[in-house]
Amino acid sequence: MRKREDLRSQAWYGGDGLRSFSHRARSRQLGLNPEEHLGKPVIGILNTYSGINPCHLHFRERAEEVARGVWQAGGYPVEFPVATLSETFQKPTPMLYRNLLAMETEELLRSYPIDGAVLMGGCDKTTPALLMGAASAGLPAIFLPAGPMLRGNWRGQELGSGTDMWKYWDERRAGNVSDCEWSELESGLARSPGHCMTMGTASTMTSAAEVLGMTLPGVASIPAVDSAHHRAAAATGMRIVDMVWENLSIGEVLTAEAYADAVTTVIALGGSTNAVIHLIAMARRGRVGLSLRDFDRIARETPVLANIRPGGQFLMEDFYFAGGLPALLNEIRDLLHTERRTVSGRTLGEQLDGAAIHKPEVIRPRSNPLSPDGGLAVLSGNLAPDGAVIKHIAAERRLLKHTGPAVVFRDYQDMQARVNDPGLVVDADSVLVLQNAGPLGGPGMPEYGMLPIPDRLLKQGVRDMVRISDARMSGTSYGACVLHVAPESYVGGSLALVRDGDLVTLDVAARKLTLEISDEELASRKAAWTAPPPRYERGYGALYQQHVTQADQGCDFDFLARQGNNPTPDPR
């Protein structure tokens, strides 16, 4: 247990030097008497609230409840507004800025008199960004998930944000949804603060944060507006104070075993493919060598138990009342490392004792899985030398082994301009290929991977096709979409060399993605390829394009992922 003099913040506030005098004087300027913060753990509350981020619209109130918990436990709370990464509104993609928030998080925790941190996130990129930055800073930290929004509603049907948007957009383009119905759908899809209530990237990553041991048990699935979420915020604030006194650092929680369990959980949830990139990046911040091979290996041995859209039937509110993540984890506890420590102070196994499934149709028992093995596969072959991923549980099974002629779009704008062109040579057996949508080509690797099916095919009843890109796709999406092709086409990867009419083979069982041309022809095309000019000449974009890694390495900045000293400043 730490003593008062061991607190990091005491280097700012304690002693008789000029700097400490200045720090105390400025604290009085803030309206604080010395007894309010001297000798107490100073807790930074990193709040990603913004008026343009509906996933976090309730965070202004939750930050006050976290602060209440900190005060009750004998700490001193300080709120820091940090970058909000709104999945809906930030362009070209918030993925471009994930590393920026991670940098901001690390440097705030390093440069201010903070003893521990509460990380408030939930919208897709905020969870990995906050955890990446906190892992690099190394202080005691705990995560508070935003929680899913309430289920949507339209004419008696329950709607899932994202998933049903894609579904009904296709039906509208097919002529099956009227203007009036579309307007009603727009009003009923998202009914409250909170992130997507499907098993999209947000719920996948907050669940990953929970199994990693970075949250209080059971909080990831609490609906954002449920009174339990208010209580969880205050309890999180109380717990971080104890963590500081216990000197429970983030590095003691985020171990190699924790990341292995996070991958297992993502697979059992039927979670978002985006988790592959984020967990690899997060693990590397802690010097854990997580790779694509680990995802594929674990997927082969882990059943899918969460019957949640888009791969299943239900929504996160149902998951919460069915027992939430602890119930699912207890069902697969033999696949987990249950002796490791969590931020609660207890082991993972102790947290799971007594957790039960209350609705077996939502959280399936091992004897009746949604799928006997994982719904995610890692592919390789001459079209993806460094790997690609597919969430095959969300695809039509007939397409899991398929060969068809390529229809190539050179970038997203080209795809938008031509996908519905009556002259486009395309049918249900075609393979839609999108180039230049990766980390550099996007830029930022946007969620373009669920390429739209041409309108005329939708009207013929086609609802899924093989689609291949170096982009990502929303975790709420579905379809036979091959994603994260590495290396990306913008740097001369094989995807850049595909031409209209080339035969492409997808074989999920064999884990193969193949461009059916000879090695000699592939080499000839590679030799003739010319690199495009840089997209950015200045600003953050220039920094990004100089240092971002490829998808199989987590799309982190190379200078943040590598080992090396980044000294804490001396405040004296």
CA distance readout (Å), 461 to 96, 172, 465: 36, 13, 12
Per-residue pLDDT of the chain (572 residues; tens, 9 = 90+): 899 999 999 999 998 899 999 999 999 999 988 888 789 999 999 999 999 999 999 999 999 999 999 999 999 999 999 999 999 999 999 999 999 999 999 999 999 999 999 999 999 999 999 999 999 999 999 999 999 999 999 999 999 998 899 899 999 999 999 999 999 999 999 999 999 999 999 999 999 999 999 999 999 999 999 999 999 999 999 999 999 999 999 999 999 999 999 999 999 999 999 999 999 999 999 999 999 999 999 999 999 999 999 999 999 999 999 999 999 999 999 999 999 999 999 999 999 999 999 999 999 999 999 999 988 999 999 999 999 999 999 999 999 999 999 999 999 999 999 999 999 999 999 999 999 999 999 999 999 999 999 999 999 999 999 999 999 999 888 999 999 999 999 999 999 999 999 999 999 999 999 999 999 999 999 999 999 999 999 999 999 999 999 999 999 999 999 988 888 888 88
Task: Please tell me the class of the 377-528 domain.
Answer: alpha beta
Report the alpha-carbon distance of residue 486 to residue 508 in Å, rounded. 17
CA distance readout (Å), 157 to 122, 311, 314: 26, 18, 12
Beta strand 384-390 with 377-381 is antiparallel
Report the alpha-carbon distance of residue 572 to residue 545 in Å, rounded. 37
| 462-482 burial: b if 16+ Cβ within 10 Å, else e | bebbbbbbbbbbbbbbbbbbb
3-state DSSP call for residue 394? Answer: helix
Going by C-beta distance under 8 Å and a sequence separation of 6 or more, which residues neighbour residue 111?
Answer: 569
Closest Cα partner for 199 from 267, 294, 288, 137?
A: 267
What spatial distance separates the first Cα and last Cα of the chain, rounded to whole Å? 25
Helices (H), 75-162: 98-111, 126-137
pLDDT computed for residue 563 by the predictor:
86
Report the alpha-carbon distance of residue 518 to residue 137 in Å, rounded. 49
Report the alpha-carbon distance of residue 527 to residue 530 in Å, rounded. 8
> Tokens for 327?
């119930």
pLDDT computed for residue 33 by the predictor:
85
Give the model confidence (pLDDT) of 250-259 as tens digits: 999 999 999 9
Residue 515 phi/psi, 5° resolution? -90, 120
Report the alpha-carbon distance of residue 552 to residue 308 in Å, rounded. 27
Q: Can you give the residue ranges of every domain in the chain?
A: 1-38, 40-150+192-352, 153-188, 377-528
Length of the chain: 572
> Tokens for 99?
């590393």
Three-state secondary structure readout of 161-219: CCHHHHHHHHHHHCCCCCHHHHHHHHHHCCCCCCECCCCCHHHHHHHHHHHHCCCCCCC
**Residue 390, phi-psi category: left (phi > 0), alpha (psi -120 to 50), beta (remainder):** beta
